[in-house]
Structure 1
C-alpha cells in the first residue's frame, strides 16, 4: 500500500496565548517613527546625526570571496523620533521625585532616572487629531493647543483618555519635516504649535503613561522664542513623571482616521542616558480574508 506525503504541512495549532491568537487573526502595523538621515531637521541643542561606513565591501575580502560592510553612528539621543527620560529635564535643581539633579548624575550617568529605566511599552494608544477636530488641516504656527481643544477632540473621536494610555497629540506640524531645508520644522521664527502648561496638566491629570507629538519639542514654541521656555516639559517630566515622545510621524494614521490602537515602543537600554531614539508602532486589528496567510 502506497502513501502520499502531505505538501501543506501540519494544521496550525490553536495558540494558547490570546495575544498570539489575535495576531494570527490578522493585524496591521503602522510605523510612527521618522527615517534617520544626515541633514534631517532636529533641535540645534543636540548633536546631529551622522552615519559613515568605516568598512566597505571590498576593503577586506575573505579567501572564500565574502566581504562585509559595517557602520558607525554619531548622534544625540534626542534626535529624530525619540523619547525623553526623566533625567532629561530638571527644575530648580530637582528631577522627578525631588532628586537632586547634580547628585543624580554623578559619574556622568543617571542610574535612577535614565532611559534604561523605561520599561518596554505595549498599551492602549490614543491619537488626538486636534486640527481635524478644529476643522483645519494643520494648527497655525505657534498655536497653543488648549484644554478645550483636547477635550473637544477626545469627545468628537469618542476616545476618552484613560490612566496608563500613551496619548499622541497631532498638530499637523509633522508635514514640515520633509520641507526643503531644516528651518520650517524647527520653527524658531514662526513658532511651533503644541500644548502649553495647562494642556500638560490636563494630560497629567488623566494619568497618561507617556505623551507624544509630531513636532520637535512636543509643546508649543512661541514665535522667535525657540526652546527658551518649556513649561510642559517641567510639568510632565519633573512634576508628573510622564515620558515625552517627540518628532513622531502621525500623518498616515491620521489620514486613515485611526484614533485608538495598541501602542508598542521600546527604548534602547542606554544605561544612565537622558533619552533614546525609538521606533514607535501602532498595531491595529485587520482580519485575514480569503485564503489566509500563505
Structure 2
C-alpha cells in the first residue's frame, strides 16, 4: 500500500469518540455477552510471562524472591514468601493491552490529542486507565490457519478483510457491534514447534485493509496471537499500519501476543467460536498499556 492510499484509508476509518471504541460495549451488549456462557468452561488467552531472554524477547520480565528464601526460613514462628516482578509492557513475547496513548502519529494521539500529554510522569491522557473497569464482552475467534488448512501462517503473510469474512462463513459465526475480535495467525504454535525467532522483523498479521472489516462491524477490541501488524511492513512510510489505523484512527484497544492454542480445541468441541471474554488490565493510571490475562468463558 503506498502512502497516498494509506492516508485515504486512515481518513475513512477515523473516528473521534471519547473513550474510543470501548463505547461500543454498552451495558446491554455486556449482558448479552454473558448469555454466551453455556458450558462454564474457562480458559486463559494469555501466554506465560517469560523471564529468560530470547531472539524475540531480549529484555524479558524479571522475577526474584525477596523473602522467606531457602536457608533463611526460621524453624519456628511466622514468615512470608515475598517476591518482586518487573517487565516492559510492550514487546514481542508477553501478552499485553495497548492503551489509546500508545500510538503517536503525525505528532498526535488518538482523537487529535497533543502528544505533549506523554510526560516523564506518564500519559496524562488516553492511558490504560480508560479500561480500569475492565473490558467485558462477546469474544469471537477467527482462525485463519484453520481456514487455509495449515498449522500457522508464515512470517510476512497477511490477512485481508475478505479472509476474515471467509473465516466467519466457515466457522458459522458473525462479528457484530461491540465484539472483541480475536484473529489467530498461529504465531504461538509456530513459536512452540519451531522455536522463537526475531519476530520484530518477521511475523504474520493483518493487511491494513482488514481494518475496514472492523469498522463496518463496529468492533470494540482487536486481539491476535501476534502483534496484529505484519512484518516486514508493506505500507510505504508506516511500519505499524494496523496499530496506526486501529489505535490512532479508530480508538480500538489492541491485545498483542495472546495465545489461542488451548481455546481452539474447546471451540471445535463445543462447535462454537464465540464466548464471554473478560479482560482486566492493571490499575496503572498513567501507563501506555498493561500486561493482561484475558479469560474466555464458553
TM-score tier, shorter chain, comes to 0.7 to 0.9
Assess, with a 3 A threshold, how the Cα gap between structure 1 residues 174 and 153 changes in structure 2: closer, same or farther: same
Supply the distance in 2 between the matched residues of 1:232 and 1:72 (Cα, whole angstroms).
34
Structure 1's unaligned 5+ residue stretches are 1-17, 285-294
1:105-124 map, 5 Å: 105-118=118-131, 119-124=133-138
Q: Tell me, what secondary structure is at the counterpart of 1:205?
A: helix
Equivalent of 2:85 in 69, 73, 79: 73
1:131 maps to what in 2?
145
TM-score (ref. length: structure 1) = 0.79
**Which deviates more from structure 2 when the two are superposed, residues 92-101 or residues 53-62?**
53-62
Supply the distance in 2 between the matched residues of 1:180 and 1:52 (Cα, whole angstroms).
29
Deviations 1:116-152 (A, max 9, x none): 1113022100000011112222112211101111110
Q: With CA pairs under 8 Å and 6+ residues apart, which has the higher RCO, 1 or 2?
A: 2
Does 1:195 find its partner at 2:206? yes
Equivalent of 1:248 in 247, 250, 258: 258
Structure 2's unaligned 5+ residue stretches are 1-30
Q: Tell me, what secondary structure is at the counterpart of 1:54?
A: strand
Number of residue equivalences: 259
Structure of larger gyration radius = 1
Q: Tell me, what secondary structure is at the counterpart of 1:168?
A: strand
Assess, with a 3 A threshold, how the Cα gap between structure 1 residues 43 and 108 changes in structure 2: closer, same or farther: farther
Supply the distance in 2 between the matched residues of 1:267 and 1:224 (Cα, whole angstroms).
31
Cα RMSD over matched residues? 3.0
Equivalent of 1:91 in 105, 115, 118: 105
Q: More helix by proportion, 1 or 2?
A: 2
Supply the distance in 2 between the matched residues of 1:172 and 1:133 (Cα, whole angstroms).
12
Deviations 1:227-283 (A, max 9, x none): x70000000000000000011111121233241100111100111100100001110
**Which deviates more from structure 2 when the two are superposed, residues 274-283 or residues 48-57?**
48-57
